[in-house]
Amino acid sequence: MTTNVLSFISLLIYLSLVLLPLGISMGINLPNRPWLDELSSSLAMIGFNIVLIEFWLSGRVKLLSKILGIDWVLQVHQLFARTALVFLLVHPFMYTLPSQPVWMMGAAQQNFIGLTLTSGLTGMLSLFALIFLIGLALTRKSSEISYEAWRLSHMILALTIATVGFIHTIDAGRFAQEFWMKAYWQLMLGLAFLSLFWTYVVKPLIQNKNVHEVISITQVSMRIWELVIKQPATKKMNYQAGQFAWLKIGSSSPLSENPFSIASCSNKNSSDIRFLIKDVGGFTHQISQLQVGQKVFMDGPYGNFGTEAFSAEHNQLVMIAGGVGIAPMVSILRQMERDQDAKILAKKILLIYGNRVAEQVIDLKDMVHLEAFRNLEVVQLVSEPSNDWQGLKGVLDSTTLEKILSSHQINLKVSQFLICGPAEMIDSVETSLDQFGAPLANIASEKFQYDFGKRNPKNKRCVISTILGSATLLAAAIYAALH
């Protein structure tokens, strides 16, 4: 199944799940209300359901990230959160409210709009918490807040929205008074709590029992370290090349963990697992200071980057790595070498490896037996070269990329592209490949950050799918309101 078809089917399943409470409400017979009131409660049900499903789309469900890829999961998480916000924001303003304040009305009228003090307060509190949560998420990078503090606040705000939103729904929701609807919201809230409990309590406890040990930590180029970890023999991770794991140092606390691509390939005779890590900040600096024998904790594998490299569908493979983005490429080449599949080893493979300075370049010969590949070519590119640099010079802009691809007779229509590195590089390469005519479905990338960044052609496609998906949700809400 192609990635496009899989993404489309997944989106349909997601939208069906989001619409479930609306379906339940349509099976409940209640006296008619003005259609705007009905639309308002339909939007509220959809919005709140999106919020509760978000807990499962935080990137920590291994199966989802393996089947759909971490990018798909997090893009749905980030983009549909905005749809939920819009639906929940308009919801209170659509009810046909009486003209005077609640406290000036008679009991009959108060009953009509149904807003008790609890309903009003819980509704406002959950809405403000949602606005605050999305605002913090959108401004995280430009603000001073640390990643760990942001993650803690994200979790607390999400819990608040779910709990207070649930109280509001049960208190104010007309349909929520009915058995099946109440049961649905209770189940969804329970599942949301379960996902947090699993990630923040159960997993750390399990990890505490499966301590991993540092075997070696070696500097392999400027600021890049190869970390080799011994896994407990009884708890060896079963991973595919290109996947990543969350690493923790010192304690298994879930608040100080960072994701890293695995640079080794799984091996039944060894429990060692390797990472290539660039020292860029607080956490990665600690990694470079690790001592042999020190304990670390690991959670994985996640993601599905690189799966396409092993498919027989494409007979040309172009890998494009920027800096430490070489890590999953090394893993993929190692797995190809391990498998000794003659077809794969004979595949035309072009590896374009860019760095800022020559000192950052990792010697690939130390990592992979390049001779095992019959048709592999490596092109090295450095943007600030010293006088003795032998490879290409410059950045991987559109002109340079086109020159490299055409000089290596890459057929853009039939090649599979794998890209990994800084987000700006990925955006620029994806935009160029799209302009050259490479099908977007043949481009897989792993960004070393979770932000839904600049609008490259793939991101634009996601935004369009989200707009169409949200329009479908709105259309369903209108349909339900009119019937």
Ligand X SMILES: Cc1cc2nc3c(=O)[nH]c(=O)nc-3n(C[C@H](O)[C@H](O)[C@H](O)COP(=O)(O)OP(=O)(O)OC[C@H]3O[C@@H](n4cnc5c(N)ncnc54)[C@H](O)[C@@H]3O)c2cc1C
The residue range among 120-128, 276-284, 349-357, 426-434 that interacts with ligand X, by the rule CB under 6 A, is: 276-284
Residue with nearest beta carbon to ligand X: 281
| 445 touching ligand X, by CB under 6 A | no
DSSP symbol at 247: E
Between 283 and 452, name the residue whose CB sits nearer to ligand X. Answer: 283
* Position among 55, 185, 260, 353 found at the interface with ligand X (CB under 6 A): 260
- Any idea what the Cα angle at residue 243 is, between residues 190 and 337, rounded to 5°? 155
Residues constituting the chain: 483
Question: What is the smallest separation between the CB atom of 37 and ligand X, expressed in angstroms?
Answer: 43
DSSP symbol at 448: S
CA dist 349 and 418 (Å) reads 11
Q: Look at strands 415-421 and 443-447 and give their pairing.
A: parallel
Residues 129-188 that bind ligand X (CB under 6 A): 141, 147
Cis peptide before 301 (omega within 30 of 0): yes
The residue range among 164-172, 232-240, 252-260, 395-403 that interacts with ligand X, by the rule CB under 6 A, is: 252-260
The residue range among 117-125, 169-177, 275-283, 452-460 that interacts with ligand X, by the rule CB under 6 A, is: 275-283
Question: What is the smallest separation between the CB atom of 323 and ligand X, expressed in angstroms?
Answer: 8
User: How far from 358 is each of 160, 172, 218, 380, 426, CA to CA, in Å?
Assistant: 50, 64, 18, 9, 21
DSSP symbol at 359: G
Question: What is the smallest separation between the CB atom of 72 and ligand X, expressed in angstroms?
Answer: 13
Nearest of 209, 180, 162 to residue 30 by alpha carbon: 180
Neighbours of 406 (CB within 10 A): 11
| 353 touching ligand X, by CB under 6 A | no
Between 113 and 220, name the residue whose CB sits nearer to ligand X. Answer: 220
Consecutive H or E run containing 272: strand 272-278
Residues 280-339 that bind ligand X (CB under 6 A): 280-284, 324, 327
| 221 touching ligand X, by CB under 6 A | no
* Position among 7, 83, 195, 258 found at the interface with ligand X (CB under 6 A): 258
The tokens of 318 are what? 């172009």
By the 8 A CB rule, do 317 and 415 touch? yes
* Position among 212, 248, 278, 348 found at the interface with ligand X (CB under 6 A): 278
| 419 touching ligand X, by CB under 6 A | no
The residue range among 125-133, 279-287, 309-317, 456-464 that interacts with ligand X, by the rule CB under 6 A, is: 279-287
Contacts for 286 with CB less than 8 Å, ≥ 6 apart? 249
Contacts for 438 with CB less than 8 Å, ≥ 6 apart? 412, 413, 415, 417
Between 257 and 308, name the residue whose CB sits nearer to ligand X. Answer: 257
CA dist 305 and 302 (Å) reads 9
Between 260 and 417, name the residue whose CB sits nearer to ligand X. Answer: 260
Number of shown-chain residues binding ligand X (CB under 6 A): 23
Between 140 and 348, name the residue whose CB sits nearer to ligand X. Answer: 140
Question: What is the smallest separation between the CB atom of 243 and ligand X, expressed in angstroms?
Answer: 9
The residue range among 20-28, 166-174, 180-188, 256-264 that interacts with ligand X, by the rule CB under 6 A, is: 256-264
* Position among 264, 448, 466, 477 found at the interface with ligand X (CB under 6 A): 448
- Any idea what the Cα angle at residue 224 is, between residues 408 and 431, rounded to 5°? 40
The residue range among 35-43, 189-197, 272-280, 374-382 that interacts with ligand X, by the rule CB under 6 A, is: 272-280
Between 22 and 296, name the residue whose CB sits nearer to ligand X. Answer: 296
| Binding letters toward ligand X, positions 396-415, x by CB under 6 A | --------------------
Q: Can you tell me which residue has the tokens 């509704």?
A: 123
CA dist 410 and 406 (Å) reads 6
Question: What is the smallest separation between the CB atom of 253 and ligand X, expressed in angstroms?
Answer: 12
Between 175 and 275, name the residue whose CB sits nearer to ligand X. Answer: 275
| 72 touching ligand X, by CB under 6 A | no
Euclidean distance between the first and final Cα of the chain, in Å? Answer: 38
Q: How many CA atoms lie within 13 A of 426 on its CB side?
A: 25
Between 252 and 284, name the residue whose CB sits nearer to ligand X. Answer: 284
CA dist 25 and 22 (Å) reads 5
Strands of 443-447's sheet, edge to edge? 392-393, 376-382, 348-355, 316-322, 415-421, 443-447
Question: What is the smallest separation between the CB atom of 259 and ligand X, expressed in angstroms?
Answer: 4
Question: What is the smallest separation between the CB atom of 306 and ligand X, expressed in angstroms?
Answer: 12
Neighbours of 313 (CB within 10 A): 9
- Any idea what the Cα angle at residue 61 is, between residues 86 and 214, rounded to 5°? 130
Between 244 and 353, name the residue whose CB sits nearer to ligand X. Answer: 244
Q: Which residues bind ligand X (CB under 6 A)?
A: 141, 147, 244, 257-261, 275-278, 280-284, 324, 327, 446, 448-450
